[in-house]
Amino acid sequence: CLGERDCSMQRKHQKVIEEAPAPGISQEVRERMSKLVTDACKKINYIGAGTFEFLYQDGEFYFIEMNTRIQVEHPVTEMITGLDLVELQIKISRGERLKIKQEKLKNNGYALECRIYAEDPKNNFLPQSGKIMHFKAPKIKGLRVDSGIESKSEISIHYDPMIAKFIVWAENRENAHIKMKYALENTECLGIKTNLKLLVDILNNKNFKNGNYDIHFLDRLI
C-alpha cells in the first residue's frame, strides 16, 4: 500500500487537482485504510496495481469502488514514494516478484498534480478544440510535466481535452502549492481557452490552502 491521494477537486465528476498525502487525514485513519486495502487484496488474491476509492467525512471513510489499473494521478504517488509504478506494473506482468517490503516503504514530502484542460470554465467547462499556437512550460526544480502537446498541436474533438499534467514535489504542502502556482503562472499557452487561471484561483483560495474543501468546491467557486 503506497498511501492515499486526495482527489476531491472535481468538475463534472472528473478530477482537476490531486494531492498526496491527503490533507486532514490522521495517521490513525491512514493506518486503518492501509490495512483494509491490503487485507482485501490478499483476500481476493489480487495481483497488479489497483486503486481503492473512498468517500471520507468526519474521520470515517466509505468504500466506493476499486479501479484495477494505474490511474491518471499516479505521478503524485511516484513523487512521494520514489517508485516508478509503470515499471513495477510491467515487472508484475512478467511474473517477477517485487523486492519492495511494506515495512520499509516511507513517503517523503508532498506532491500536487494539476490537470491543464482545453476548456472554458466560465461556460460550464465546455471542451475547446483548435490549434495551440504556442505551448511552453517553465523549467523549475521539482516540476514534472506529462504531456503529448507542443506548439502547433491540434486539440481534436475526438479525444479528451487534457493538454498536460503538472506535478510538483516539495518538502511540505505549502511549498508544493507555491511551486505549482509559480509553474502555472509562468506557463505559456496561446491559441485556445484553458483552465490555467482557474487552477491559480484554486491555489489562491483560502479554504483550499487550509484543506477545507470537498467535491462540490468548484460548484461554489464559479
Give pLDDT tens digits for 203-213: 999 999 999 99
93: left (phi over 0), alpha (psi -120 to 50) or beta: alpha
What are the tens digits of pLDDT across the range 62-76?
999 999 999 999 999
CA distance 123 to 190: 19
Kindly tell me if the per-residue pLDDT of 35 is higher than 80: yes
Q: How does 119-143 read in b/e, with b if 16+ C-beta sit within 10 Å? A: bbbeeebeebeeebeebebeeeebb
> Dihedral (C-alpha) 169, 171, 173, 179: value to the nearest 10 degrees?
-50
* Helices and strands of the chain, counted as H and E runs: 7, 13
Strand locations in 36-106 (E): 51-57, 60-67
Average pLDDT over residues 75-86: 96
Average pLDDT over residues 176-200: 97
Full-prediction pTM beyond 0.95? no
At residue 71, the pLDDT reads 92
Enumerate the active-site residues: 69
